[in-house]
Chains A and B, each alone.
Chain A
Amino acid sequence: MSANLAKWRRTPPLILYVGLIAILVLSLAPLIAFVRVAAAHALDAGAVAGEQGFNAAFANLMRFFASIPGSVVLKSLRFTILQSAASTALALAIGLPGAWLAARFDFRGRRILLALAAIPFCFPPILVILAFILYYGKEGMLSQLYALVGGRPHEYQGMLYSFWGIVLVHAFYNFPIAVHQVSAHWMRIPSSQAEAARTLGAGRFRAFLAGVLPQLLPSVAQAAGLIFLYCFFSFTTVLVFGGRAGTTLEVQIYQALRYQSNLPLSTVYSAIETLFAFAGIYVITRKSDARKSQMADYGRIQRRARAAGAEKLAVLAYEIFIAIFFLGPLAAIVVEAFRVPASFGGATKFGLGNFSRLLGGFQAPLIPALISTLKLSGLAALLATFFGVAASASIYSLEKSGRGVALARAIETSQWLPLAVSPAIMAYGWLFLSSNHTTSYALVAAQAAIAWPFVSRSLHAALRALNPKVREAARTLGATPLKSFVSVELRMIGPSIAASAAFAFSITAGDANVPLMLGMNEHETLPLLLYRLTSAYRFNEACAAGLVLGLMTGIVFLLKEKVIDVA
């Protein structure tokens, strides 16, 4: 062993600590800034002349707590939990059959089915919402289909603007996660136990219950936990469809921030959210550990049989189901983008009319929106990549050296923050930190904060997968630790860095939450334009803009599955 390596083992460079502490501070700073301003608001609220000092502040605080609309808070909490639970259940119901097919059989379209897992990450919710309105709405394609098979279009009752509408969108949006995660696990479960059960006389179903299901549960629970969390924090879908059915906590935060300017109240909502999210994350990480140790036991992937007979029929039925109910809406966007609706007695045409209106009409919004998306989200993605590389490299080095493990764990934990804290709070926190409260800075910072953990986690996995011998070889040849890291490890994970940078861009470019929460209509990004066109019912132009956005964020589809896997 070279002297260099021994030295590295003893004392990881100071810069590592500095970098990691900087990351920790940067992820917590906006939260602290937000809570500070919110507390100041709560203490100052309704300050009357003559009342001063601690007593007045205390009285104000009490007044604030008394003013919290308890019944509204409870009602939205109940709705949030109910819709998340229903959405998760439906997503699993749609996803598990697919997971089984993909794990056990080879068939045409299997890889596409697994690749659908990229959709929740690379197609922004606003695009999927648009697709569902076009497809499931009262004048949508499904209603026309219904009319074709004999039903009167009047009888088709749209259900989008209701509780079940929200659940439907959530379930279809997230079911690919279940397919992907559960099948990855299922593929490795050996059939020996189930076969043993069968030789003992158990039926197929009993054998499955005894031999496969217990081992499958951790991955199902993990997927369910993740989907539940995504639905728990769902914002745009509920904003569009939930006007009547109910509001999630996230929408309440939005109302409190944008329409009541009530920062303390939004803090209360978000604290409740975070408590629940932590519980969810606890489940996910626990199950993830269980799953990993199981997977390590099984090791290799089981052989898949070619689907035949009844199985082939099952595969076909499943594929048709997914194509009609999930891919259909997405295809509708493409069709509608080129359909120019009839106006002034003219007939419906197909062409580029929608695009040209966005490019040349009043205030020609498409190009400026494209540019601000590239500029703001591009910058956010770059920042996220930078922090992701720095964080994963530091954690990796600390792990190797065996020192500062507590710090490494702290960073790993802080990677969960974006899943546990409302993006609205992050965005406003950065707003308060920026001088003059500049929204574009806040947007870039908040989006980077949301995206960097994805980068960091996938790079960490890539680093761990490297063969340690290469690194040691470089050291024995006399490279300093830093030099060997840059010239060997960093170079080897180069493609992973590029892939996760693109992934970060997909997340930030498709994000409508942060700009909506910040109310930043001055720099209209593509998702904001899409939201504006959708809510003004200019669907065809919305589809044209959506197609542009989809092509941009869809870049993730070209990436290796691995990135999605880790995410």
Chain B
Amino acid sequence: MMRTKYFIATILLCGAFIAVGGSAWAQANQPGGPELTVWTYDSFISEWGPAAQIAEAFTKTYGIKLRFVSKGDGGALLSSLMDPTKMPNADVVIGLDNNQLEKALASGLFTPLKLKNIGQIQKNLLIDPSNRLIPFDYGQFAFIWDSQSGIEPPASLEDLTNPKYRKKIIIMDPRTSTPGLGFLAWTEAVYGNGWEGYWKRLAPSVLAMTPSWDTGYGLFTKGEAPLVLSYSTSPAYHKAYENTERYKSLQFKEGHPAQIELAGVLATSRNRESAQKFIDFLISSECQAFLPETQWMFPANAATKLPPSFAVAGRYPALSGTIQDLDRDPSEAANLIVGTP
């Protein structure tokens, strides 16, 4: 009896000690000097992502620290920004895209920027004339196929609905992730008002609709399905890291829409000067050189040289597509996939 008591008392004391000591330690370790809070999505700050290199180079040059906070995928990122119950406490946002542009600009959250390096950006990527959301990389959506799966590669969106691809495809949730949204834009561009019919036909082929690109691509590389929604540049990753061309991007006859990834500075930021410096750095040729082999996207800066691995990256005929109703369509689409046989 007594021993139990002492034992539990000791545990509790230790717990209290750790809690108090820990919080004191955390207070003491509060970073000194200026710091920018950057909201982004999962893969940007993941182990293979560019955040670590960018942070190191930027801090070295400007003496400003960066703190990255992941909000899930791009859809979650925009939702967090638009959350009516909470003001966003970030300085910089990285990872919105062309499909979200209109809604993001209409929110009035972003401030116009004056950037030295803006002249080096490919002209066709500058989709916000007010310079509030700045392109930093781009790519084309495409399905990636595991050539060792023994499954025939599909050649069009319509092919994906073929019964032979039953439970063979991984896509992302258009409510929460930007690739999911991009896929929705793709189907709206190809099928017009008939897109809902297409999603209904597609549903049996879908093994999983994941909340983020990270999860979906992880499932794919773990062998759970032979086809995944990703980018035409994804094979470059496998070339560089695994020296394999097993995973191939597929050209579809309908054409491929592009994703332009955007970054901006919040008007509420108290460090707008530093934040503007950071965006300028993000599009500089020094920083852009990090992107191909971490983001696995094409850099927005025209002067950046591509690494050899990008020889296997596909460039396909473009297709421009937008989402008609950004508030309604993603939920409609997701509900056509969830809970259907």
Contact = CB atoms under 8 A, between A and B. Distances in A.
Contacts of A199: none
Interface residues of A, number: 60
A328 interface: no
B219 A437 contact: no
A261 B83 contact: yes
Interface in B53-94: 55, 67-72, 75-76, 79-80, 82-87, 89
Nearest to A432: B85
Contacts of B72: 521
Contacts of A138: 222-224
Interface residues of B, number: 67
A502 B8 contact: yes
A239 B82 contact: no
B208 interface: yes
B84 A261 contact: yes
A21 to B, nearest CB: 29
Contacts, number: 158
Given A246-B338, A522-B89, A502 B42 contact: no
B191 interface: no
B15 A378 contact: yes
B85 A158 contact: no
A469 interface: no
A519 B19 contact: no
A158 B85 CA distance: 40
B8 A239 contact: no
B157 interface: no
Contact of B43 (A247, A495, A536): A536
A532 B206 CA distance: 23
Contacts of A72: 335
Nearest to B172: A243
Nearest to A528: B70
Interface in A110-125: none
Given A532-B42, A536-B43, A519 B12 contact: no
B211 A243 contact: yes
Nearest to B150: A154
B221 A244 contact: no
A159 to B, nearest CB: 11
Nearest to A345: B243
A259 B224 contact: no
Interface string A248-267: 00000001001111010000
Interface of B: 1, 4-5, 7-9, 11-12, 15-16, 18-19, 22-23, 25-26, 42-43, 45-47, 51-52, 55, 67-72, 75-76, 79-80, 82-87, 89, 173, 175-176, 206-212, 214-215, 217-219, 221-224, 241, 327, 331, 335, 337-339
The 10 closest A-B pairs by CB, nearest first: A537-B218, A246-B339, A362-B52, A498-B8, A378-B19, A536-B214, A243-B209, A371-B22, A535-B215, A374-B19
